[in-house]
Amino acid sequence: MRLPLLALLTRGPAHGYELKQDLEKLLGAAYPQPNVGQIYVTLGRLEKSGLIEGEDVEQSGRPNKRTYRLTDAGREAVLAWFEDTAEEPRVRDEFFMKLALAPQSGMADPITLINRQRRQYLNTMRDLSKLAASEDRDNKISQLLIEGAMLHLQADLDWLERCQEELE
């Protein structure tokens, strides 16, 4: 959550609740939203490490609210984040390990493992389709997030098919 928050603060100072709402609006309901507590904790840490600076703003009849702005070090961190390419997602290594070790242990049948795993992926795929249908069609970012998850899952399913072909 650190870098998305920093990236939002490049637009100008904001307080924690604002940042939460902006994230929600941007990513849509598809993305599991951090709760406001998590956001405050993260902001606290970012402040401690000098990437942002907080300032209390008085509000009439209400407790002060703390507004944060990006420091130069924070701006550098965001730049470096955009510079860097993201790591590739990895093959689900836990399932891979089960598959590799099933024949060794003699305690599970690889094909049964594959079938069970496929059922789970297919059900997840179904949930994602439903989510895509229920989510705002015009929220491109959110739709793309779901589509990305579906394509990853499709690749996982293709790989299971390859495993089954080879191990059957």
Partner 1 sequence: MSDDAAGGAPAAPGPTPAPEPAPAPAPIVRAEGLTKTHHGEGAPVHAVRGVDLTVRPGEFVAVTGPSGAGKSTLLHLIGGLQRPDGGKLWIGGQRVDTFREARWAVLRRRSIGVVFQFFNLVSNLTVADNVELPALLAGASPKAARDSRAELLAELGLEGRERAMPGELSGGEQQRVALARALVNHPALLLADEPAGSLDSKGTREVLRLLSRFHQRGQTIVMVTHDARMASAADRVISFFDGRIADDAQLGGGRREKPGGVSRVLDLKE
Task: Tell me which of 129, 136, 140, 144 binds partner 1, using CB under 8 A.
Answer: 129
Place of tokens 């049964």: 112
Q: Is 154 in the site for partner 1 (CB under 8 A)?
A: yes
Q: Is 93 in the site for partner 1 (CB under 8 A)?
A: no
Are residues 70 and 64 in contact, defined by beta-carbon separation less than 8 angstroms? no
Q: Is 161 in the site for partner 1 (CB under 8 A)?
A: yes
Give all strands of the β-sheet with 62-70 in edge-to-edge order.
14-15, 62-70, 52-59
Q: How far is CA 166 from CA 32, 35, 161, in A?
A: 37, 45, 9
Task: Single out the segment in contact with partner 1 by CB under 8 A; choices: 13-21, 71-79, 93-101, 110-118.
Answer: 110-118
Residues from 64 through 83 that contact partner 1 (CB under 8 A): none
Minimum CB–partner distance for residue 118 and partner 1 (Å): 7
Task: Tell me which of 66, 98, 125, 159 binds partner 1, using CB under 8 A.
Answer: 125
User: CA 52 to CA 65: how far, in whole Å?
Assistant: 15
User: CA 67 to CA 35: how far, in whole Å?
Assistant: 18
Of 162, 1, 6, which Cα lies nearest the Cα of 80?
Answer: 6
Pairing outcome for strands 62-70 and 52-59? antiparallel
Judged by CB under 8 A, the number of residues near partner 1 is 35
Closer by beta carbon to partner 1, 67 or else 164: 164
Q: Which residues bind partner 1 (CB under 8 A)?
A: 1, 30-32, 87, 111, 115, 118-129, 131, 145-147, 149-150, 152-154, 157-158, 161-162, 164-165, 168
